[in-house]
Amino acid sequence: MDLVHVSTGDILRDEMAKKTPLGTEASGYMAGGRLVPDRLVMDMLKSRLGAETRGLLFDGFPRTVAQAEMLDAWFVSRGQDLDAVVFLNVAEAVVMARLGSRRTCTGCGRIYNVISSPPAKEGVCDACGKPLMTRTDDKTEVIAKRIQVYKDQTEPLLAYYRASGNFLEADGGKTPEEVTKDVLALLRVKP
């Protein structure tokens, strides 16, 4: 499948690293574990993806019902359809543990987990040799805030998409390999 991976979190971190006006505005929200305002996220996506003709695989988006409604309207204006929504269901304790043990490469962005997929040499990226870091929003106090924000603002999306008829759910508590297999099977895509 010729899909473009669109992670709004990655795009926002890129804007922050480049110190663009959007990145500067978004940084306070992100560091505190809050959501960046819907309008900023939507304008950012429209400007980045306006000319994109391939299929889109959104990751971490939409995060609110308002974003989902704006996405629906945007798809209508582009003559595109939403084929599927995949919900990776993970218990809260597992989310806390995974985020707390996640490390991200400061060079290439590759993600590690110090418990389940550590780098060969502690603190150093296998791929590019740059140091690994803990994302500011993966610090314990911010993780708790992000989970509360999820419950308040993102969980209502489950009802929104369950009603839409193209909602798929996988057990995200399994290993990355198993989750990949399950999601591909749900989407009826051959690995």
Give contact residues for ligand AMP (rule: CB under 6 A): 8-9, 12, 29-30, 33-36, 41, 60-63, 67, 137, 146
Question: From the CB of 190, what's the least distance to ligand AMP, in Å?
Answer: 28
Question: From the CB of 77, what's the least distance to ligand AMP, in Å?
Answer: 19
Burial class (CB in 10 A: 0-12, 13-18, 19+), 153: middle
Residue number with the smallest Cβ distance to ligand AMP = 9
DSSP for 100-145 reads HTEEEETTT--EEETTTB--SSTTB-TTT-PBEE--GGGSHHHHHH
Q: How far apart are CA 38 and CA 34, in angstroms?
A: 12
Comparing CB distances to ligand AMP, the nearer of 135 and 174 is 135
Amino acid at 21: P
Comparing CB distances to ligand AMP, the nearer of 20 and 121 is 20
Comparing CB distances to ligand AMP, the nearer of 43 and 52 is 43
Question: From the CB of 82, what's the least distance to ligand AMP, in Å?
Answer: 15
Residue carrying the six token digits 């994302």: 135
Parallel, antiparallel, or unpaired: how do β-strands 3-7 and 55-59 relate? parallel
Question: From the CB of 142, what's the least distance to ligand AMP, in Å?
Answer: 8
